[in-house]
Structures are given as structure tokens and as C-alpha cells.
Structure 1
Amino acid sequence: MSSGNEQACSIVSLVNETIGVPTLPEVLVKLNRIIVNPKSSASDVAKVIAADPAVATNILRTVNSAYYGLQVRVSSI
């Protein structure tokens, strides 16, 4: 890595630490790209979600909660 790139990375890290700006998880960036694309399908969204175990687990937990009152337990994305 060149010293210019190292300096830029250091500055970005310092700014992020100082002002506490959280970075978006990569899965959200991917989902946003897919959702705004009119040619994307629900299957495309499911693939991105399924690739991140934490997100998939949270979605399944939410869908299976009493709030939604589903008759059948959802077990896959």
C-alpha cells in the first residue's frame, strides 16, 4: 500500500472513530443494489440474505414471532 493510501485510510479511521459514524454492513449495501434494480427478483434478495447467517437468523426469528401469527413455522429464507 502506498503511503498516500495509508494516510487516507488513517484519516478515514480517525474520522470514523471520532464522530462514531457506523459503517453499513456489506449485506445491506448488496440488498440495496438488488432492491433498486427492477430486474431483480425475490430469489436474488433471498440469496443475499441467506449468505449472511446473522441477518437470516434475525429475519426468521422475526417472521416466526407471535406478532405475525403464522400457522406454519418458516424454516428457510
Structure 2
Amino acid sequence: MMTVILWIIVAMFGASALCAVYRILTGPTLLDRVVASDVLVATIMCSLGAEMAINRHTNTLPVMLVLAMFAIVGSVSVARFMSNQAEA
């Protein structure tokens, strides 16, 4: 039973990651690409969290924290860049 659930989890996170990568590659605007990269980072973080829950450890928690920090700083940077572009 656990292997079936594991394969469902892998399929769902894999489909989400592929959709995000597709949007990053074909997004018509910069903001579409930024949102898609945030979705990709969130998907990676969720898959790491699921792996931690299944294997009952917290070894990858620092990686998740760094990914969260990277996503926040990147989103804020792009938002500030886009707001400066709109003013000019």
C-alpha cells in the first residue's frame, strides 16, 4: 500500500514540475516565468517535505529553508525591478 501512495506522490510532483518547467520555457512574459519558477521551487520544497515525512528524518530541512529564502528574495527582486520599469 505504501509503494502505491509513494508512486502517486512522485507522479503528482513530477507532473507539477514538468508543467512549471514548460511555463518557464514558453511563458510569454517575465512575470509568467517568475511565477512558474516560484511554483517549481514550491514543488521541490513539497517533495523534500514528503520525503522527510516518509523517511522520518529532518536532514533536508536546511535545504528547504535555503530554497524558501531564495524564492522570496527572487520574487521581491523581480517585483521591485518590474515596478521600476513601470515608472520609467
Identify whether the pair has TM-score above 0.5, normalized to the shorter chain. Answer: no
TM-score, scaled relative to structure 2: 0.30
Structure number with higher helix proportion? 2
Q: Higher relative contact order by CA 8 Å / sep ≥ 6: 1 or 2?
A: 2
TM-score, scaled relative to structure 1: 0.33
